[in-house]
Structure 1
Amino acid sequence: MQNKGLVRIFAILFGAVCIYQLSYTYITYTKEKEAEAYAQQKYAETVENYSKLREIAEREYLDSIGKEEIFASISYNDAKSKELNKGLDLKGGINVILQISVKDILKGLANNSKDPSFNQALLATDELQKNSQNTYIEDFFIEFEKIPDAQLASPDIFANKNLSDDITYDMTNDQVRPILRKKIDESVTSAFEVLRKRIDKFGVTQPNIQRLGESGRILVELPGAKDVDRVKSLLQSTAQLEFWDVFKSEEILPFLFAANNVLKEAADETKTSKPEVKEETDEAILDSTQLDSTQVETVQVDSTKTDADSAIEDLLEDAEDSTVVEEQVNPLFDLIAGQGGQGGPVIVSVAKKNADQFMSYLNDPKVRALLPLEQRYVKFAWGKPAKDSEILDLYAIKGNRDNTPELSGGVITDATQAYDQTNNVVVSMQMDGKGAKKWEEMTERAYNQRSQIAIVLDDVVYSAPGVSRGKISGGRSEISGDFTIEEGQDLANVLRAGKLPASADIIQSEIVGPSLGQEAIDSGIMSFAIALGLILIWMIFYYGKAGAFADVALVVNILFIFGVLAGLKAVLTLPGIAGIVLTIGMSVDANVLIFERIREELAKGKSQVDAIRDGFNNALSSILDANITTGLTGLILLVIGTGPIKGFATTLLIGILTSLFTAIFVTRLFIDGYGKNGKELAFSTGATKNLFKNVNIDFLKKRKIAYVISGIIILAGIGSLFTQSLDYGVDFVGGRTYTVRFAKDVVPTEVEKDLVAVFESAQAKTLGANNQLKITTKYKVNETGEGIDTEITNKLYEALKPYLTEGLTYDEFANGSDDKQVGIMSSMKVGPTIADDIKQAAFWSVLGSLIVVFLYILFRFRRWQFSLGAVAAVFHDVLVVLGVFSLTWKFMPFNMEIDQAFIAAILTVIGYSLNDTVVVFDRIREFFKEHTGRSLDANVNGALNSTLSRTLNTSLTTLLVLVAIFIFAVPLRGFMFSLIIGVLIGTYSSLFIATPIMRDSVKRVGLKEEKTKEEQEVATAK
């Protein structure tokens, strides 16, 4: 090897840099352990809520030492920002994909146009998007073009005053499209920046936010975040801040009386029209078709404060008296839980459970017809509920024809969490000059009229203060609302960042509890240690001292992998650890190839120096081809994968590069260094010296039997795919998945029956231990919003109550009780649209990898027959793995869902199978050059036999690794099972499928075989 000194210096420097990068991780680990010990000492397990208290104590401890110098001017805060990033599955946290509503952006650009063509196209686009791979805007253009004579540049659509500088009425649709695309991209970019500003102030380390293509989707990862509701509120809040004048309670009460009387008469008419109904419910259901606007004239209500308040008090007393309710039902007032104060902005109070029904009554067109002329634009809105309260206050906002507030949040230049005079948390805001002037006008009017101004955020009234000291100058204002300190900080953060240009729906989410993350770390480390130990022992057993040198190179390789990960700020996930362990197994392959070639050269009688030199040189081509093909599949995974799968691909690719360097250069340094003084180095031990020596198996003769066996397995698998299909995960079909842990063992079939009764469709499967279930449901999968998620979690809690620990509260269940290690440990939601996208991406990734492999092998071997054999073997392996999963998923004791991790496994199988096949093909090509006198079959069989030791050695070491991960990493068992099947079938296919198909295709196209020497002599004699 040339330039040994340069290689040695580079390896030492590279190793030193990796150690330096990993030192940050060591510093943070030691300090966090100190913080953990401090918290445990401060709060014993006997203290109530000790887990939460310990968490706070740890944070306070780390905050107190954050800026102190630890080593060489490095503080804990410095080290934390540079440590090896851990993914959600190792650290816990939240991962969401937000869909910025392009529909909302379009409506905003069109000034909420009422144009029939525009709205018809929007409705059609909504429907088309359910099964489309296009972006929303492209499908909108398709649907809009279907409408005869429809013009995007219509004054009623996009040729409006807001877009007058960009779009004019004489433009064609083709001219308008790129302008709209640009405007939408600007809006999504704006949303991205708003979310980034919010997240930067959220307080988690190493957050990740990125746009996903041109789809309007934004990925947000918050490792370590624990408060799910807080994060969802932070991400989904549009921050539409508005300031409105409000009606006083006595101004609206007459309308409520009129509405109640009309609803009551409608309910009475419904009763009389259906005499067969013997029993009425406590709450009458409004049939809006029964209302008649002429009934307004019959309603007479005294609107004076005293009479109105007295009347409503009487009605509330009646509602509490069951005997009165039996005689007389008041549809509206029966839902009221309390009344507002005289002269105040709160009209009435209603229980949360009745809020939707109450609001539906008020917004019914026939009921709104009762409003007097001066109140016709009134907007009813609920107030922010007090902490732990189930009651909502109703406000009546003075709306207008255009539904636009006098003052909006766009004028806010700064917002901070502060305290009022009574030491309650508030949010203080500062406005710009234009906002300050308008605020002065509004507060002066409110002061003169003794009225209030409602501060409304995302259609919720946070406060409606009066003005007691005259107009407010300078643009200062406050929002109060029974905030916690964190809520105040979040609200100020949101207001500073600005409003989102459109609504943001969570279409995919994954939430992992910290305790589950720690278990993942433990299982990952365990599998890593055992796999590494097995490989180190095996290499020494098989290759003796040379194996020990390979082991040292392997340890150096691991140091390089983790150092590069830390330096690149890559995220380490549980599949990433699997990728590293798998890389270790596959990196042994390079050393095995080199050592086997050296043994061959020694067997030819060469000196040790010459054998080592030629062995390294001859193995190089096979090593490069095998790793490049695996690397190509890893690249495809890196491009199409998200989250943990991208982590798997990252570590796999880094591992391939570092293992090439360590196997080719570092191992060589040790071997050459050992032999420079004439020491003999045996590349085997007594037990393995003659293993696989003089093996002469006629593989080609057995190919027809192999074809039959493979055909039977594939046909059985295809038949199963058509009859019982596969167990598709939520990644591909959409839905919600929860990992729920119980205090005692549970029977999944029994739990599933109770879940089906609540959700109509649900599945429950054991995940790991018998006290842990993976629960999946498609209930309301098409609906989005924080309220839907909360509703489903509530239903899940109620359905599982019989199996939960007595006294376990909903909050403990929903957030995973750290004290008791029970409840929801992780959850995942995938919307149907993104599930369809994932499915399509998976298909194209597998197909793309096959095409790339075909072209690469064609380029390397110059014969399409080699490409055909390799792709046929890969296709065979994929079908077998799919068939095995289809045949066995119903009775296997572990999760075998088809999800993104499974696609990663399929691509890994493709890479591994190619690795084997390319090594064999390289040897066949070599034999063609060296043994020109042999027949085609003799060369093929000779190549297969000569690489048999390497093939089985590599397969065995890789299987040792996979089995170790399979046993100890419970969440990855399905993933590992697919890889185990893939390695076994990949080894088989390289011997009995790829090479025979290549040989048969060579025969069929009539390529002339080389004649043996005997045949040539006979031909010459004749």
Structure 2
Amino acid sequence: MQGKGLINFFVILISIACLYSLSFTFVTHKVERDAVAYAKGDPAKERAYLDSMATVNVYSLGFAKYTYQYCKERELSLGLDLKGGMNVTMEISLKELINNLADNPKDENFKKALDNAEARSKDSQKDFVSLFGEEFKKLSPNTKLASFFASKDNAANNITANSSDADILAFLEKESGSAIDRSFNILRTRIDKFGVTSPNIQRQQGTNRILIELPGVSDEERVRKLLQGSAKLEFWETYDNTEIFPLLENINHTLASTLKVEENKVAAATNDTTAKDSVSGGRLASLGAGNKAITDSSAKDSSSLAMQQARNQNPLFAVMSPNVGQNAQGQQALGNGPVIGYVLQKDTALVNSYFNSPAVKAIIPANVKLLWSVKPVSKETKMFQLFAIKPTGLEGNPVLTGNVIADAKADVDARTNNPQVEMTMNSEGAREWRKISAAASSANPKKAIAIVLDNTVYSAPTVQDEIPNGISSITGNFTFEDTQDLANVLKAGRLPAPAKIVEEAIVGPTLGQAAIDAGINSSVIGLVVVLIFMIFYYNRAGLVANIAVIFNVFFIMGILASLGAVLTLPGIAGIVLTMGTAVDANVLIYERIREEFALGKGVRQAISDGYKHAMPSILDSQITTFLVGVILYIFGTGPILGFATTLLIGILTSLFTAIFITRIIFEWMLQKDMKITVSYPWSDHTMKNANFGFVKNRKKFYAFSIAITIISLISIFTKGFSLGVDFSGGRTYTIKYEKAVNLEEVREHLDGTFGVTSEVKTFGGDNQLRVTTPYLIDQTDDAADKQVLDKLNEGLAKVQNNAYQIVSSQKVGPTIANDIKVSATYSVIFSIIVIALYILIRFRKWQYSVAAAISLAHDAIVLLGIFSIFDGILPFSLDLDQHFIAAILTVVAYSINDSVVVFDRIREYLKLHRAKNEPLSHVVNTAINRTLSRTIITSLTVIFVLAVLFIFGGEVIRGFSFAILVGIIFGTYSSIFLAAPIFADLQGEEKAPAKELSAAEKTSFKTAKA
């Protein structure tokens, strides 16, 4: 084998890299086991133990030492369905939206109407806009709403001074709904880019709230900041420190004369908590900062006696260090730039209270804005910078807004190697930015432009030269994670109205521990069954294949861990599929090797030729499956994206292990003169001389397939489906029991009572649950609400000797938004089209493409039909949910894999058999029979795993495993009985002219006959 040394090197290198990535998971699991042993069942003690270990070095690797927190961030996490995660309720501020649409009027009755509506919305069932209309009518019965909303910005919506109050309220209803929808999509985009696999995001129907569940999230603070940032990006001109310092002196003198009687009140305001809140505003506060160094000596302790005495005479400068430096003569002088001072984090609230006092507000000009830096200058000093911003024009606007940003991405500064965000502006923004940068760079001294996001300064670089192309960077005290989040927020877009977190909790897994254990155990059992079968059928070669499969699973898990992926149920489906494809590649190779042995070749030559002849089939089948994965990765979100990621990684690792690792092992065995066998005497001739009349009897199979397809379509369009909570939404209840409760027991009681599958998970503690049921979701009246509540109480009461109370309830929209459903449908259709095009290019006959497309469509329709027909008949749930999407995509990928292998053998035989003037039907039938052994064996290996998963995997994932199991069976059926015969019919029975065969073709012809 050529390049054996290089391949050995890559195997060792990848193995070390995967082991390194997975080692963090091993370490964190050990620490968490120690925490459980220490706590002895006390959750509080367990959390305290883990908190204490956060900064402790728990892992040493050479000279490197890693803390528990570092390891935790790099472990292979389980998804929400397997482990749980973070639950957040976001509220879109319609009050601020309406205020903005009215251009922030000064009218007191308008403001009071908004306040009253906000207060009533907490208890009322009416929407916010209706409440606002009622409150405004009470306060200003003779004032028309149009007087506030008839503006140039709203003219596009036909809002004029003559619009009635009803027209205005309808406009506000429309804008509110649009704002919530846009916020929903923007938040989902941010979450997807954040890297969370299979997030759940739902609209709470009839409200301005959005429910979000994020699996495997460990950095909760980062999530809060990411979600709450409105992404209001602005570019502002700045003042130089020398221009503002006289104003600061004036403020200092004013404070000294006016704040003496309020000394105690002011001192009470200085505390760390309010300081932190006032600086960050709760928004993306940890993403960046300026980069000016500050010495430790400037970090004065504001609580010291000296500072207390100085505050009497210099209140401002006692807590704020002015921006001073040294001039050319080495003397102290005011520093240049937009930074006017430095303030300790704990004193920022005090400084804010100074600036907001009436006496100081009166002397600060309207064209001066003072904004904080988003991060302290350094972690050690905890000192924030204060910037002087210069509004432009009569309205005090920034020189440019974030609307001109076309793209943003995390990058690295080539000079300093520091993380930064690179922004690309659209054509309009590029023109304006060129003018602004030209003016700033030509000033003397050169001016800085402040980059402000959500009213905090991220950086304020001094513009050195004109920027002509609209491409610039945001630099600062960033980590790479900071730049990823900032680019994510800028690219996802600005929230149309501020969003705040009103509720958050840690939720338990969708699947109970018993179901998780059953799923994992059954998957392991299924894998063991496959490994045993491979040895049982292929003798020593089966053992080699098993080593490759184990390496394949190891590589998949290692790469997922290195990418920071979250393992979910759809991801496991991808691993199951790649196990099948890994075995499939080995089966193709071994079947070819057996054919070479039948020709009397020696072991070394038979192995070499077997790999060579199997390669086209392996590549074609894997490339088509890979194309499905690429399309799903591009178009998919949530669970589809997680499935696609696992599938793509698995295909690459399967090819590597099946082609290279097995070959390395065979080469080693040859060097050691070990006996290599690819069968037992009993299995050597299995299906070797099969000659079933697949093409001859094709019309019978066509009739069967047409009949089952028609039945499926009738059921789909008449009976329809039972939709899971993911697709239909439902009513959600939070239930608190007196004592800890068994999740599986509650789910079993509720499913039996409702008659539909409900989602049950722990919520905040093991005695508190969140239940979401789709029961009567299509009925929204009070009678339906009461009926659902009665059923809920009936099911909950079945838990013996454990009193409970229903803490809260709400109606939620579907987890998967409509556009995700549409994208999933289109991605499946597009996958079929792209595969058909690939087959057309690869096989150079349109008949192959059409046959493959018909076969795939048949499989998808039949699977959907079975779920429709047998829903309510089979003794387990057949709901359509996000896991079903992953299942049907698994079937599509697997089915085309099977069909392509048969097509590849047909293409090979067309060159050989047709030269002997044989009918096409005979050629196609021979090709199907010669690949029959491979097709059945490959299908059996996957079916073994799925059958065990279906039987022993637990009730929760039974419908999911049933979908893949049935789909694989029908996918195998269609590749044998439909795809190839359809190709024969489309091609026609014309005969090729006889010709003399080449020596290689004669050899292959003998092989086929054998």
Does the alignment reach a TM-score above 0.5?
yes
Deviations 1:14-37 (A, max 9, x none): 111111111111111111100110
Q: How far off its partner does 1:635 sit?
A: 2.3
**Aligned partner of 1:28: which letter?**
T
**Distance change >3 Å, CA 725–CA 411, structure 1 → 2:** closer
Q: Are 2:92 and 1:92 aligned?
A: no
Please give the alpha-carbon distance, in whole angstroms, between the structure 1 residues aligned to 2:220 and 2:88.
11
**Aligned partner of 2:78: which letter?**
K
Aligned residue number for residue 640 of structure 2: 645
- 1:619 alignment partner, one of 609, 614, 628: 614
Q: Are 2:936 and 1:952 aligned?
A: yes
**Aligned partner of 2:19: which letter?**
I
Aligned residue number for residue 703 of structure 2: 708
**Distance change >3 Å, CA 749–CA 903, structure 1 → 2:** closer
**Aligned partner of 1:724: which letter?**
K
Q: Are 2:864 and 1:862 aligned?
A: no
Q: How far off its partner does 1:857 sit?
A: 0.8
Q: How far off its partner does 1:576 sit?
A: 1.4
Superposition pairs of residues 506-585 of structure 1, within 5 angstroms: 512-514=507-509, 516=511, 518-519=513-514, 521-585=516-580
Deviations 1:133-182 (A, max 9, x none): xxxxxxxxxxxxxxxxxx9xx9813299xxxxxxxxxxxxxxxxxxx9xx
Tell me if structure 1 keeps the 8 A contact 2:196–2:565: no
Q: CA RMSD in A?
A: 5.3
Superposition pairs of residues 257-272 of structure 1, within 5 angstroms: none
**Aligned partner of 2:773: which letter?**
I
**Aligned partner of 2:978: which letter?**
I
Deviations 1:270-317 (A, max 9, x none): xxxxxxxxxxxxxxxxxxxxxxxxxxxxxxxxxxxxxxxxxxxxxxxx
Please give the alpha-carbon distance, in whole angstroms, between the structure 1 residues aligned to 2:826 and 2:505.
24
Please give the alpha-carbon distance, in whole angstroms, between the structure 1 residues aligned to 2:504 and 2:59.
37
Please give the alpha-carbon distance, in whole angstroms, between the structure 1 residues aligned to 2:945 and 2:356.
70
**Distance change >3 Å, CA 191–CA 538, structure 1 → 2:** closer
**Distance change >3 Å, CA 991–CA 531, structure 1 → 2:** same
Aligned residue number for residue 4 of structure 1: 4
- 2:900 alignment partner, one of 918, 921, 931: 918
Aligned residue number for residue 28 of structure 2: 28
Q: Aligned to 2:86, what secondary structure does the other structure show?
A: strand
**Distance change >3 Å, CA 876–CA 696, structure 1 → 2:** same
Tell me if structure 1 keeps the 8 A contact 2:58–2:65: no
Please give the alpha-carbon distance, in whole angstroms, between the structure 2 residues aligned to 1:938 and 1:657.
36
Aligned residue number for residue 765 of structure 2: none
Q: Are 2:961 and 1:976 aligned?
A: yes
**Distance change >3 Å, CA 982–CA 635, structure 1 → 2:** same
Tell me if structure 2 keeps the 8 A contact 1:576–1:651: yes
Q: How far off its partner does 1:997 sit?
A: 0.8
Please give the alpha-carbon distance, in whole angstroms, between the structure 2 residues aligned to 1:510 and 1:836.
26
- 2:977 alignment partner, one of 975, 992, 1010: 992
Please give the alpha-carbon distance, in whole angstroms, between the structure 1 residues aligned to 2:779 and 2:506.
17
Superposition pairs of residues 146-545 of structure 1, within 5 angstroms: 156-158=151-153, 222-223=214-215, 430-431=348-349, 436-439=354-357, 441=359, 502-504=497-499, 512-514=507-509, 516=511, 518-519=513-514, 521-545=516-540
Aligned residue number for residue 753 of structure 2: 751
Please give the alpha-carbon distance, in whole angstroms, between the structure 1 residues aligned to 2:87 and 2:39.
28
Aligned length: 682
**Aligned partner of 1:751: which letter?**
T
**Distance change >3 Å, CA 711–CA 624, structure 1 → 2:** same
Deviations 1:851-880 (A, max 9, x none): 111111111111110001111111111111
Aligned residue number for residue 677 of structure 2: 682
Aligned residue number for residue 147 of structure 1: none
**Distance change >3 Å, CA 936–CA 800, structure 1 → 2:** closer
Q: Are 2:909 and 1:927 aligned?
A: yes
Q: Which TM-score applies when normalising by structure 1? A: 0.58
**Aligned partner of 2:911: which letter?**
K
Q: Are 2:877 and 1:885 aligned?
A: no
Identity %: 42
Please give the alpha-carbon distance, in whole angstroms, between the structure 2 residues aligned to 1:496 and 1:111.
22
Please give the alpha-carbon distance, in whole angstroms, between the structure 2 residues aligned to 1:503 and 1:552.
55
Deviations 1:777-816 (A, max 9, x none): 4669999xxxxxx9999988656553344443438x88xx
**Distance change >3 Å, CA 1002–CA 514, structure 1 → 2:** closer
Q: How far off its partner does 1:906 sit?
A: 1.4
Aligned residue number for residue 776 of structure 1: 774
Larger radius of gyration: 1
**Aligned partner of 2:885: which letter?**
I
Q: Are 2:820 and 1:838 aligned?
A: yes
Q: Aligned to 1:810, what secondary structure does the other structure show?
A: strand
- 2:50 alignment partner, one of 59, 66, 82: 59
Please give the alpha-carbon distance, in whole angstroms, between the structure 1 residues aligned to 2:986 and 2:780.
51
Please give the alpha-carbon distance, in whole angstroms, between the structure 2 residues aligned to 1:577 and 1:223.
15
Aligned residue number for residue 1002 of structure 1: 987
Tell me if structure 2 keeps the 8 A contact 1:700–1:941: yes
Q: How far off its partner does 1:438 sit?
A: 2.7
Please give the alpha-carbon distance, in whole angstroms, between the structure 2 residues aligned to 1:85 and 1:798.
35
Q: Aligned to 1:90, what secondary structure does the other structure show?
A: coil
Q: Which TM-score applies when normalising by structure 2? A: 0.59
Please give the alpha-carbon distance, in whole angstroms, between the structure 1 residues aligned to 2:759 and 2:521.
22
Tell me if structure 2 keeps the 8 A contact 1:550–1:663: yes
Deviations 1:734-759 (A, max 9, x none): 3346799475796668733xxxxxxx
Aligned residue number for residue 325 of structure 2: none
Tell me if structure 2 keeps the 8 A contact 1:414–1:431: no
Q: Are 2:934 and 1:936 aligned?
A: no
**Distance change >3 Å, CA 194–CA 961, structure 1 → 2:** closer
Deviations 1:357-398 (A, max 9, x none): xxxxxxxxxxxxxxxxxxxxxxxxxxxxxxxxxxxxxxxxxx
Deviations 1:495-531 (A, max 9, x none): 9999976144999999851594644542342123112
**Distance change >3 Å, CA 550–CA 599, structure 1 → 2:** same
Aligned residue number for residue 486 of structure 1: none
**Distance change >3 Å, CA 14–CA 981, structure 1 → 2:** same
Q: How far off its partner does 1:106 sit?
A: 8.6
Deviations 1:883-934 (A, max 9, x none): 1111101122222111222122112111111101000000000001122212
Q: How far off its partner does 1:832 sit?
A: 5.8
Please give the alpha-carbon distance, in whole angstroms, between the structure 2 residues aligned to 1:919 and 1:217.
51
Tell me if structure 2 keeps the 8 A contact 1:95–1:511: yes
Please give the alpha-carbon distance, in whole angstroms, between the structure 2 residues aligned to 1:792 and 1:511.
29
Q: How far off its partner does 1:835 sit?
A: 3.5
**Distance change >3 Å, CA 853–CA 507, structure 1 → 2:** farther
- 2:74 alignment partner, one of 71, 79, 82: 82
Q: How far off its partner does 1:774 sit?
A: 7.3
**Distance change >3 Å, CA 601–CA 733, structure 1 → 2:** same
Q: Aligned to 2:880, what secondary structure does the other structure show?
A: coil
Q: Are 2:710 and 1:726 aligned?
A: no
**Aligned partner of 2:357: which letter?**
W
Q: Aligned to 1:700, what secondary structure does the other structure show?
A: coil
**Aligned partner of 2:851: which letter?**
G
Tell me if structure 1 keeps the 8 A contact 2:198–2:639: no
Q: Aligned to 1:73, what secondary structure does the other structure show?
A: strand
Aligned residue number for residue 19 of structure 2: 19
Tell me if structure 1 keeps the 8 A contact 2:354–2:360: no
Q: How far off its partner does 1:62 sit?
A: 3.0
Q: Aligned to 1:898, what secondary structure does the other structure show?
A: coil
Tell me if structure 2 keeps the 8 A contact 1:70–1:76: no
**Distance change >3 Å, CA 724–CA 22, structure 1 → 2:** same
Deviations 1:622-645 (A, max 9, x none): 111111111222223323433333
Q: How far off its partner does 1:831 sit?
A: 2.3
Deviations 1:959-978 (A, max 9, x none): 01111222333332212111
Q: After the TM superposition, which of the residue ranges 58-67 and 9-18 deviates more from structure 2?
A: 58-67
Q: How far off its partner does 1:73 sit?
A: 1.6
Aligned residue number for residue 261 of structure 1: none
**Distance change >3 Å, CA 514–CA 792, structure 1 → 2:** farther
